A and B are shown apart, each in its own frame.
Chain A
Amino acid sequence: MDLYAILKLTWWALLGVLLTGLGVMVGMDMGVGASLRYLGRSDGERRAVINMIAPHWDGNQVWFILGGGAVFAAWPTIYATAFSGLYVVMLVLLWSMIVRPLGFEYRSKLPSQRWRNGWDWMLFVSGAVPMLVFGAAMGNMLEGVPFHFTWDMVSYYTGSFITLFNPFALLCGLMALALALYQGGAMVMNRGEGVIRERARRQLTWAGLAALALFTVCGLWVWRMAGYVITGGADPAGPAIPLHKTVVRASGAWLHNFQVHPVLWLAPAAVYVAVLLGIAAARSGRSHVSWWLGVVGWIGTLGTVGAAMFPFMMPSSSNPSQSLTAWDASSSQTTLLWMLGWTVVFVPIILTYTSWAFWVMRGKVTPEKVEQDEHAY
């Protein structure tokens, strides 16, 4: 196989790793933010919950920022087309997300209950909304988005922003939020005690079941949905330009890969198995197991989407032949190779010091300990 094609495949897989990192690490903190008012009833309890993620939310959030940078570097046409096409969606995502650092950092700086209550609502918004948008964006990718290019690769988005919030996309958004609440629940169980831990367990259970229900509904929807098929002109080793192939829309096309490679059914199966086992593990108090099974749940979910769409990444509903695929939306071979080098060197280093940071801050966080700690949020 040609080196360029292998690099494109590798970066397609790395995008999956990145989205998994984003779903797990950012999703976990957003799940905690979104359910803060449920997990903690008093100010002391809420501070305990916030301080469970206080030393880590900033590092975790870099998964999101790196997501932007890596898509820019490896999939520049997608970076340009998706983020400009989904403009209003992106604004909602960014505006809700940038409130979060302030929520964490400023909330407990003043004793006023009104001040803190206000920030608690902000943390709710900045946890729930970005996950909804993240899932809805994935849903839109499955459905296809109306855009086209001129001959010199200037992109035009021709839909209205309302269509981006269609029922299927919103269901996908709820699914992402449910997984985030599950992951956040597992994290709070890991680091909480007593009543907080018990609430987190209940949250994990209900969110996990909701995620499975939504996954089922979305899956059936995708089954019936008009997917996309390349009918000619695609060259895996060819230059990255999405103007020279032909694509048609066909009902049930997103099942095609599963029919050719039945092994891919393992991805959706993994979601059901992992989440159900995760709920069971939480019942018997082994929330660390639940957390890791949540990771498997994310891998399964994103793997299902990837398996259904491959090689499509961002189909165009208005001009299908200009859809963006793994073969024609990437960087050049030189850039992909260099970036792979940097990734191979730095990701293990990042994982090492992130683990060390979690290890240093390990242990239970209780309202009493937070009250005693002058460094706490």
Chain B
Amino acid sequence: MHHLATVVDLSRAQFAATALYHYLFVPLTLGLSFLLATMETVYVITRRDIYRRMTRFWGKLFAINFALGVATGLTMEFQFGTNWATYSHFVGDIFGAPLAIEGLMAFFLESTFVGLMLFGWERLSRTKHLMVTFLVALGSNLSALWILIANSYMQKPVGSHFDPTTMRVELSSFTHLIFNPDAQAKFVHTSVAGFVTGSIFVLGISAYYMLRGRHLEVAKRSFRMAALFGVFAILATITLGDALGFIDGSVQPTKLVAMEALWKTAEPPAGFNLIAWPDQKAQRNDFELKIPYVLTPLITHSLHKSIPGADALERQARAKIRDGIPALEALHTLSAHPNDAAARSRFQAHEKDLGYALLLERYAPDVSKATPAQIRKAARDTIPPVFPVFWSFRIMVAAGFAMLALFIAAVLYSIRNQVTERPWLLRLAFWSLPVPFIANLAGWVVAEMGRQPWTVYGQLPTWLSASTHSVAYMVFSLTGFVLLYSIFIVIEMFLMVKFIRQGPDDGGPRPDHADSSTRAPRLSEA
């Protein structure tokens, strides 16, 4: 017995809590950085001071958010090692590379230039400062790219092979790793979802000012810009989300089963479960409301392909488990006798299903003596928790279409300059502030809980991946994280609300700075 189930569960809880928390701040950074760059571009082109003040104001809120993104990102970089040691050893040869490149290519860029962006207004010419802002936006989005390349390896392991000598997967093709189709779709989907988050943030807060009749100059312009930015971003998010669903259908059929609560194989034309009440134990939906004919074209982008359900996938998994057993036995032999040629060729014949044997090891520590009942149990594990994935997916999609409607309305009324006369729209925009955050978190749950029971899909089961800590250690660390992060969010929200209430600088002399009226001209001299 390698790992205590409680320790694995607590490690998962800790990872989910810290990753989701981190993921509250990151999308806003991704989107707001590009919105700042856009605002500043308008300032540099038009030279109107209002756009400088606009950039400065949203930049201040950006900085408050950014600090927590950085802080919580720090722990993520080390958490694979601290809590997922077996995973880290198993995939380190592949997974570490994109994380290191993220540091080299993206995080240094973002973090070095964010200092100049916040403190360099008076020391850089307009164009140089604009360039700096763009580099921050570029850095934060490149950072997302490399993290998602790493994540995509967990979703669809490519460009690697298992080495029985070093007991880990090793890199065979770097280009396959970075051009993972899953990574491409997921990067764009996640990045533009960040743009949506930034747009709703600006839209909602601008709406708040307009409802109060305050800071109208900044608010109207910000609202319009966010609406235009947002409408394109949400369309791209939905399109790429569909592409990602299409990829998942072939790469991770089990995730698809969970997303659609598809217990039985769906022959065309299959209906789409608009809502359902999945029961994992009984392997059926207690209740479902179907839209007929929609599922087949939605998932397969065709009219006559069938979609495998949990029943068929479990059958396949049982075959894979049986096929993987000789691989694990041969591996054990090889660890003691690395030159055993018979064991090596046996391993090679079965290595593609090694991961499935590891899945079985949970129930049958000696897999060669596994009973059919144990194999059935392990095969049943290959279906992820359907209920949370199914509902997170629907929450995400519903949020996406609701935001699309909001952005369309916002664009229509703001280009006609009628926004201030539509208080319902402003109220709607303001109350939509939490929506993108909820959608982002739900998307994470779909992607990562839908990947279960694997940390590396089809290769390394989650139950085997965690560090071998004691329960006491895990309770200690999880409690510490929850306490610390709760204090952080209270402080962050307090400052955010305070600075939003305070609002942007409307121009004119500021009482506390005698020379502030001369500041703008000085900038243009620089």
Interface residues on B, range: 35 or more
Bound-state CA distance A260–B66 (Å) is: 51
Which of B35-43, B78-86, B248-256, B288-296 is near enough to bind chain A?
Answer: B78-86
Interface code A139-165, partner B: CB below 8 Å = 1, 0 otherwise? 000000000001111111100000000
Q: Which of B74, B113, B122, B473 contacts A88 (CB 8 A)?
A: B473
- Given A87-B473, A335-B171, the answer on whether A374 and B2 have CB atoms closer than 8 Å is no
Whether A101 is near chain B, meaning CB under 8 Å from some CB there, is yes
Question: Residues of B contacting A69 with CB < 8 Å?
Answer: 77, 96, 99-103
Query: Which A residues between 57 and 73 are near B, CB-CB below 8 angstroms?
Result: 57-59, 61-62, 64-66, 68-73
Question: Residues of A contacting B304 with CB < 8 Å?
Answer: none
Bound-state CA distance A376–B468 (Å) is: 46
Asked if B480 and A339 make an inter-chain contact with CB atoms under 8 angstroms apart, the answer reads no
Asked if B108 and A350 make an inter-chain contact with CB atoms under 8 angstroms apart, the answer reads yes
The A interface, classified by DSSP as helix, strand, loop or mixed, is helix
Bound-state CA distance A106–B71 (Å) is: 13
Say how far A330's CB is from chain B's closest CB, in angstroms. Answer: 9
Q: Which of B71, B86, B107 contacts A80 (CB 8 A)?
A: B86
Question: Residues of A contacting B119 with CB < 8 Å?
Answer: 51, 54-55, 361, 375-376
Say how far A123's CB is from chain B's closest CB, in angstroms. Answer: 13
Which of B161-169, B183-191, B221-229, B260-268 is near enough to bind chain A?
Answer: B161-169
Query: Which A residues between 342 and 377 are near B, CB-CB below 8 angstroms?
Result: 342-343, 346-347, 350, 353-354, 357, 360-361, 372-376
Asked if B114 and A74 make an inter-chain contact with CB atoms under 8 angstroms apart, the answer reads no
Asked if A62 and B74 make an inter-chain contact with CB atoms under 8 angstroms apart, the answer reads no
Interface code A231-264, partner B: CB below 8 Å = 1, 0 otherwise? 0000000011101100000000000000000000
Asked if A151 and B335 make an inter-chain contact with CB atoms under 8 angstroms apart, the answer reads yes
Bound-state CA distance A111–B74 (Å) is: 28
Asked if A62 and B107 make an inter-chain contact with CB atoms under 8 angstroms apart, the answer reads yes
Say how far B334's CB is from chain A's closest CB, in angstroms. Answer: 10
- Given A239-B163, A357-B115, the answer on whether A65 and B104 have CB atoms closer than 8 Å is no
Whether A332 is near chain B, meaning CB under 8 Å from some CB there, is yes
Asked if A54 and B115 make an inter-chain contact with CB atoms under 8 angstroms apart, the answer reads yes
Bound-state CA distance A150–B468 (Å) is: 12
Say how far A213's CB is from chain B's closest CB, in angstroms. Answer: 32
Interface code A301-326, partner B: CB below 8 Å = 1, 0 otherwise? 00000000000000000000000000
The count of chain A contact residues (Cβ–Cβ below 8 Å) is 78
Which of B87-95, B194-202, B367-375, B442-450 is near enough to bind chain A?
Answer: B87-95
Asked if A76 and B96 make an inter-chain contact with CB atoms under 8 angstroms apart, the answer reads yes
Asked if A332 and B170 make an inter-chain contact with CB atoms under 8 angstroms apart, the answer reads yes
Say how far A159's CB is from chain B's closest CB, in angstroms. Answer: 12
Question: Residues of A contacting B85 with CB < 8 Å?
Answer: 80-81, 83-84, 154-155
Chain A CB within 10 A, most for which of B109, B112, B118: B112
Say how far A222's CB is from chain B's closest CB, in angstroms. Answer: 26
Whether B179 is near chain A, meaning CB under 8 Å from some CB there, is no
Whether A298 is near chain B, meaning CB under 8 Å from some CB there, is no
Say how far A374's CB is from chain B's closest CB, in angstroms. Answer: 6
Question: Residues of B contacting A224 with CB < 8 Å?
Answer: none
Say how far B57's CB is from chain A's closest CB, in angstroms. Answer: 12
Asked if A91 and B82 make an inter-chain contact with CB atoms under 8 angstroms apart, the answer reads yes
Whether A97 is near chain B, meaning CB under 8 Å from some CB there, is yes
Say how far A98's CB is from chain B's closest CB, in angstroms. Answer: 4
Whether B287 is near chain A, meaning CB under 8 Å from some CB there, is no
Chain B CB within 10 A, most for which of A68, A69, A150, A342: A69
Top 10 nearest A-B pairs (CB, nearest first) are: A76-B92, A83-B81, A72-B96, A73-B96, A55-B115, A59-B112, A66-B103, A105-B67, A84-B85, A80-B88
22 A-B pairs whose Cβ atoms sit less than 8 Å apart in the complex:
A70-B100, A72-B96, A72-B99, A72-B100, A74-B96, A76-B93, A79-B88, A79-B96, A84-B469, A87-B82, A101-B68, A102-B67, A105-B66, A106-B67, A154-B468, A157-B468, A241-B166, A342-B105, A347-B104, A357-B112, A361-B119, A376-B119
Q: Which residues of B contact A (CB under 8 A)?
A: 2, 63-64, 66-68, 70-75, 77-78, 80-83, 85-97, 99-105, 107-109, 111-116, 118-124, 163, 165-168, 170-172, 174, 331-332, 335-336, 338, 464, 467-469, 473, 476-477, 480, 484, 488, 491, 495, 498-499, 510, 513, 515-516, 519
Sample of 18 further A-B pairs with CB below 8 A, known A74-B96, A102-B488, A343-B104: A58-B70, A59-B112, A73-B92, A76-B89, A76-B93, A80-B85, A83-B78, A84-B88, A87-B469, A91-B477, A94-B75, A106-B495, A154-B2, A155-B89, A331-B92, A350-B108, A357-B113, A376-B119
